[in-house]
Amino acid sequence: MRPRLASAAIAVVTLIAAVVTTTLAAGGSPARAAESEDSFASRLFGGNLGKPAKSYACFVRVYDAAHLKQHPLQKVGAMKLLLTAEQVPEDEALNYSFRLGVSFRHRPGDFDSSGDCGHIKASESEQGKTQLGCSVDCDGGGITVELARDDKSTLVRLDSIRIWRNNRPDEDGFPLSGGADDRVFRLDRASLDKCRSLVTDRQELAAMRRK
């Protein structure tokens, strides 16, 4: 190799090594750069992030017989997730909240939960996945929400979350625990119509219809 070309090659290798070292020092992975909040929020809400108006995203899954046969310990038969994003006067960053609807395989009735998700953050996992961490008041547990690579579905992860029958938070409720087959749920993106049953406020229902 000619001396000038050799020097150029060494310079390129040194530059790449410096970038990798800087990324690892920041706690990241050279294969995946940290995603910005705006980018993740835009993906999560399907590009329909209307600041300062409230934004909505709906994800739904009804588990078929084949899936339930492969996961005999799964208690959940269907799940809905409604995510919202809005700006509040005291905070420049977007604030997120969630409503979760659950139907069980062997228990009649519709159950739900809701809470706040705060701000989007990067998790501490090795993959550096960006996620929403959502919680229910009064130590009611919560969920984390990640986006699949194609943006068409979410992964909902839970250890335990308190749920109520038919939107009755005045009752005691009971915990839905992760267990063997109820720890991770993949929900598919759906129209807002599929999640309207989770909303009881008439003004909010009207706002959702305008989306």
Tell me the pLDDT tens digit for each residue of 78-101: 999 999 998 887 777 889 999 999
Q: Report the distance separating Cα 162 and Cα 69, nearest Å.
A: 26
In angstroms and rounded to an integer, the radius of gyration of the C-alpha atoms of the chain is: 21
pLDDT-based confidence at residue 122 (cuts at 50, 70, 90): low
* Phi, psi values for residue 24, rounded to 5°: -65, -35
Residue 157 has pLDDT above 70, yes or no: yes
E-assigned strands of 40-90? 55-62, 76-88
Contacts of 33 (CB under 8 A, 6+ apart): 23
Q: What percent of the chain has pLDDT over 90?
A: 51
Across the chain, what does the average pLDDT equal?
Answer: 81
- Does residue 125 carry a pLDDT above 70? no
Count Cβ atoms below 10 Å from residue 44 Cβ, excluding itself: 25
Dihedral angle of Cα 125, 112, 160, 80, to the nearest 10 degrees: -30
Res. 72: pLDDT tops 60: yes
